[in-house]
Amino acid sequence: MHTPEGRYVRFGVREHGMVAVSVGLFANGGMRHYCATFLPFLPFFGNCAAAIRVSALSKMGIIYIFAHDSICLGEDGPTHQPIKTLESLHCLPNLHIWRPADSN
């Protein structure tokens, strides 16, 4: 492909659909890909978190990118402060988490 057209699927605010399609693509073809959303929105889409759990437990090689983990988003109120979200992701087996701001 000489152009990036057709390489991206834009789901909008449909995190569960995004993760479910990613799991289906990997399960059927083994294609390594990524899906991305904002970390503060993960707790509100419970099905998204469940699909991430399924893919982690199934040892699927999907790359999840969660951006803006409450850096400069706290002024938007408690819905944009994912205090327990990162810890709940750390509890999943086969899910590796890298944070560029993490001292560890």
CA dist., res. 102 & res. 4, Å (int) = 32
**Active-site residue flag, 15:** yes
Catalytic residue selected from 5, 15, 75, 87: 15
Instruction: Identify the burial level of 64 via C-beta atoms within 10 angstroms of its C-beta, where 0-12 means exposed, 13-18 middle and 19 or more buried.
Output: buried
Return the active site residues: 15
